């Protein structure tokens, strides 16, 4: 089980969840790999749908994330999920402090081939920022699936 963890669960993580779910679906693994998202902060966003710009960015790839709702990272998530993937160093520190064990917590871009280490928050930017984030997440999603398959052959 994979959990994507940004700050507020309205921009980056809904995109990451939607893209990785799409990768899992295309590979026929939807019954074997579960994907969710939760923010490290954002109690004020709980229950809200993804940012409309985030929805537009993935809809261009045929991915609908309109049904997702923001929620806050919960200590139980640390036990329920195998992987908690953070978007930046701030999210990483919060998730690691909350969890203290259980899930493997790593930056999402550890699975991408490029030099970037953080998925930038596109909230204050325009469409190009969301497009850039989408590209990073697509690359990391492919790498993540390879990692899961390598670690769990035959599952």
Of 107, 60, 109, the residue nearest 84 (C-alpha): 107
Architecture of domain 2-151 in this structure = 3-Layer(aba) Sandwich (3.40)
Of 137, 154, 150, the residue nearest 35 (C-alpha): 137
Residue boundaries of the structural domains of the chain: 2-151
Per-residue pLDDT of the chain in tens (155 residues, 90 and over written 9): 899 988 888 999 999 999 999 999 999 998 899 999 999 987 778 899 999 999 999 999 999 999 999 999 999 999 999 999 999 999 999 999 999 878 899 999 999 999 999 999 999 888 899 999 999 999 999 999 999 999 887 76
């Amino acid at each position: 089980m994979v959990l994507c963890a940004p700050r507020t669960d309205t921009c980056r993580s809904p995109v990451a969840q939607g893209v990785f779910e799409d990768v899992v679906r295309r590979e026929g693994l939807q019954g074997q790999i579960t994907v969710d998202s939760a923010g490290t902060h954002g109690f004020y966003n709980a229950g809200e749908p993804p940012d409309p710009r985030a929805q537009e960015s993935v809809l261009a790839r045929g991915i609908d994330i309109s049904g997702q709702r923001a929620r806050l990272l919960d200590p139980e998530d640390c036990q329920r999920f195998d992987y908690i993937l953070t978007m930046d160093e701030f999210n990483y520190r919060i998730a690691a402090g909350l969890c203290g064990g259980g899930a493997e917590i790593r930056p999402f871009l550890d699975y991408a081939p490029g030099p970037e280490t953080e998925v930038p928050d596109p909230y204050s930017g325009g469409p190009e920022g969301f497009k850039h984030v989408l590209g990073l997440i697509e690359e990391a999603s492919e790498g993540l699936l390879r990692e899961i398959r390598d670690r769990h052959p035959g599952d």
